[in-house]
Amino acid sequence: MKNILLNIFALWALCSITGCSDFLEEKSDSRLATPVTLEDNQALMDRTFNTVLSNSISGQISADEIYLTDADYGNLIYEFEKRLYTWQPGEVSSSDENDWGSCYRRINVCNTVLYNIEHYQIAGAENLKGQALALRAAIYLEAAQIYCLVYNDNTANTDLGLPLRLDPDMNIPSKRSSLKETYSQIISDLKEAATLLPDAQIALIRPSKATALGYLSRTYLFMGDYQNALEYGKQTLSINDKLIDFNSLNPSDSYPIKSMNIEVLLHSSMVYSQFLSGSMAKIPQSLYNSYVNNDLRKSIYFRFNTAQQILFKGNYSGGATRMTCLATDEIYLNVAESYARLNDIPKAMQTLNQLLKTRWKTGTYIPMTANSQGEALDIILKERRKELLFRGLRWSDLKRYNRDGAGISLERIVNGTTYKLPPNDLRYAIAIPEDIIKMTGMPQNPR
């Protein structure tokens, strides 16, 4: 009743100002609801929460970079976060929000812009079209890491992929493509985007050519196509190879790495999660101990709470927001790993050393060397984990390492109960929300 009275009062107030008959008889202008200009559609892409600032959290919660104390686990509000943390086979989505809904909401923004560009024949929209294609591809790649098994050439034609929605029409039924079709769409979008985009944009929330090339390098790395991962990584660095000198940062700052810094190719972040908050998610002691004292990341990335537990402060946001940004440090690691996989050990170590010398205290870094492919990969993959901590990439890395025979098992102990995730387990493809399965009739991920 209270809300009804408030609404009546608001309508009365508006009528008293404008005249009720004029207000009620005013015809709506459909142009106010339909973005038909270049500026309108760019504004849609620039609404960051609907594009780049609500990336998925499921992989970060499920991977092995962080842990919760039993007390913190008991204080979690959302049951789905508890189930993700313990690798439960189903019912891992929230009724209010989930990564599936977030991914497809953001994809629909891209599809809407692409449709508008074509349908309204918007002139001069090459840059905008490239942004929409690159971002759609990036989101599909993100979703594939969560809801699909790792890409494997031998099974990609039959493994379940994602519903490839390329049109904003919500009435088109959803059906799952193959994993090969999913990755083919991602690559197609990124390659087309790279031909349309400028090398850099006026704002880092907008994908650029360097962004599209960087995502191609990431995509091919996830697929195990190291020649293409190398080629597109090198093309990315030919546009932007800048790295932060960590000697220029102040480790006593609450968050030493600033937002929109010179390494960022696309500014993006995870949606807020209580689980991933700055005070709750703890870093394992063994991971912290892997940083030597002259490695400035040890003081830039971490702080201790009053209980002497290790917390992460190395976000590329300049604050508590957890970033998933594509950045040049990742590209250096892609290139180094790809060289090593292709057995070019000197170039692999040279590329890695270019990155690491910017992370060590001035005058203390001794270039790393390797005498074999196995030794080089061991060094590079350890540094990848240490450099890209809390960037949403570890879950994907675990999946591809195990595909290639690494045999990494995960284990957590929560309230005295041990939970395990063996290598290549089907639960590496997280369950699609149950309401989506009921609504669409699509097959659920096998458990």
Only one residue has tokens 């659920």, namely: 444
Q: Where are the beta strands (DSSP E) in 54-167?
A: 160-163
Q: Residue 432, Cα to own-chain centre: how many angstroms?
A: 18
Predicted confidence at residue 96, as pLDDT, reads 64
Residue 23 has a pLDDT of 33
**Are 337 and 384 contacting, i.e. CB atoms less than 8 angstroms apart?**
yes
| Burial class of residue 222 in the structure, from the number of CB atoms within 10 Å of its CB (0-12 exposed, 13-18 middle, 19+ buried) | buried
Q: How many CB atoms lie within 10 A of CB 195?
A: 11
| 102 Cβ contact list (under 8 Å, min separation 6) | 54, 55, 56, 271
Q: How far apart are CA 223 and CA 230, in angstroms?
A: 12
* Digit-coded pLDDT (tens) for 156-182: 999 999 999 999 998 999 999 999 999
How far, CA to CA in Å, does 445 sit from each of 19, 168, 315, 361, 429?
Answer: 58, 25, 32, 47, 7
Pairing relationship of beta strands 264-266 and 417-421 according to DSSP bridges? unpaired
Q: Tokens 């929000």 appear where?
A: 97
Cβ-Cβ contacts under 8 Å for 384 (sequence gap 6 or more): 333, 337, 397
Distance, in Å, from the CA atom of 283 to the CA atom of 165, rounded to the nearest integer, reads 38
Please state the pTM of the whole predicted model.
0.92
CB proximity list for 419: less than 8 A, separation 6 or greater: 86, 87, 411, 412, 413
CA angle 220, 152, 146 (to 5 degrees): 75
| Tens digit of each residue's pLDDT, the chain (447 residues) | 334 333 433 444 444 434 444 433 444 443 446 899 999 999 999 999 999 999 999 999 999 999 999 999 999 999 999 999 999 998 887 766 799 999 999 999 999 999 999 999 999 999 999 999 999 999 999 999 999 999 999 999 999 999 999 999 989 999 999 999 999 999 999 999 999 999 999 999 999 999 999 999 999 999 999 999 999 999 999 999 999 999 999 999 999 999 999 999 999 999 999 999 999 999 999 999 999 999 999 999 999 999 999 999 999 999 999 999 999 999 999 999 999 999 999 999 999 999 999 999 999 999 999 999 999 999 999 999 999 999 999 999 999 999 999 999 999 999 999 999 999 999 999 999 999 999 999 999 999
Quickly list H helices, 357-426: 373-387, 394-403
Long-range contacts of 92-97 (CB under 8 A, 24+ apart): 92/58, 92/430, 92/431, 93/431, 93/432, 93/433, 93/434, 93/435, 95/435, 97/271
Interatomic CA distance for residues 316 and 259, integer angstroms: 6
DSSP element (H, E) containing 219: helix 209-223
Q: How many angstroms separate the CA atoms of 167 and 342, rounded?
A: 39
Query: Is residue 336 within 8 Å of 355, Cβ to Cβ?
Result: yes
pLDDT at 111: 98
